[in-house]
Every structure is written in structure tokens, then in C-alpha cells.
């Protein structure tokens, strides 16, 4: 089993933007703040990885379900696959970084702005999705004096990886 990710904080956002999206930290923060000011993301400067008690998960997922990019996966969550997020840590500043009820599309955002929003939306959906489940197998065989071991895993239930591995 591979557990779904914790909610997104600023450090994790900047780390992923730099390492996986090729967007430097300063540019990523500038983009995140612009997305916040445009109403697409929650406040992007936070150390918290714990959602407030009465967070509107359903409303955000319903908004994401209206966009072609996220509709299939978001609708699965709305039809009963939504899970409670991991506990995380509330440091008392702001809630984790998530999309808002004003969802974006490839038509409304472009370039790095879209790529960053897409990552935040997928991470949010993953954080309230089922865990991924795998079947692991190990095979050992001998031939003459040599012993070989083969290890592998097969997806039993993709869970959150269905939305994060695009």
C-alpha cells in the first residue's frame, strides 16, 4: 500500500515546482500568488498540512468536476470514493494550499500558470483519495550455482495515483 499525500504547504509546493515542473522557487511563488489574487488558489504561504475541521472538500471537488481535465476523477470522489485527509500539522497560520471553488481550465490559464495550478489541483484530489494498493511478488530461482531473485509489484487499486500519474 502507498498512502495518499498530506495536504500541500509552501515548502512542498516550491520543492515540486523546482524539481518536477522546472519552475524556480521565486517564479513559482510569483505564479501561486497571482493564482491566489485571481481567486484560483487559497493563500499560498502556509506551513500547515492539516485542513480545518469544516473544510469544504465537496464544494472544491464539485467545482473541479466541471472541468474536462479533472471531471472523471473528481466525479469518482463525489460518488463515494472521497476519503478523509491524513492528519497533517496545523501550525496556526493558514490552511493548506488548494484550488478554490473557482476552478480553472487550460483555456483560462496558460503556460507555467496552468502547470502550477494543475499540480495543486491534482495534489488536492490525491490528498482526499483512497490509498494506492499493490500486490508485491518475489521470485527466487536457481540455475547451477547461481541464484537469482526477481521482485515486482502490480497495481491492485490505483487510488490516488490515478490522478497524480498523468
How far is CA 25 from each of CA 15, 18, 28, 55, 164, rounded to the nearest angstrom?
A: 8, 6, 5, 28, 21
Phi-psi region of 111 (alpha: psi -120 to 50; beta: other; left: phi over 0): left
* Dist. CA 106–CA 114, nearest whole Å: 6
Catalytic residues: 43
* Dist. CA 136–CA 10, nearest whole Å: 34
Pick from 3, 2, 20, 26: which is nearest to 120 by CA? 20
The length of the chain in residues reads 166
Amino acid at each position: 500500500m502507498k498512502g495518499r499525500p498530506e495536504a500541500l504547504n509552501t515548502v512542498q509546493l516550491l520543492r515540486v515546482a523546482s524539481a518536477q515542473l522546472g519552475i524556480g522557487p521565486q517564479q513559482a511563488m510569483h505564479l501561486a500568488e497571482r493564482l491566489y489574487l485571481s481567486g484560483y488558489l487559497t493563500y499560498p504561504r502556509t506551513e500547515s498540512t492539516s485542513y480545518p475541521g469544516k473544510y469544504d472538500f465537496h464544494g472544491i471537488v464539485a467545482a473541479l468536476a466541471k472541468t474536462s481535465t479533472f471531471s472523471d476523477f473528481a466525479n469518482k470522489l463525489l460518488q463515494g470514493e472521497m476519503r478523509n485527509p491524513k492528519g497533517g500539522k496545523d501550525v496556526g497560520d493558514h490552511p493548506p494550499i488548494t484550488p478554490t471553488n473557482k476552478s480553472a481550465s487550460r483555456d483560462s490559464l496558460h503556460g507555467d500558470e496552468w502547470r502550477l495550478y494543475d499540480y495543486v489541483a491534482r495534489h488536492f484530489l490525491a490528498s482526499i483519495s483512497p490509498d494506492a494498493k499493490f500486490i508485491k511478488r518475489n521470485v527466487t530461482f536457481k540455475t547451477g550455482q547461481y541464484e537469482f531473485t526477481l521482485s515486482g509489484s502490480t497495481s491492485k487499486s490505483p487510488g490516488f495515483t490515478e490522478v497524480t500519474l498523468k
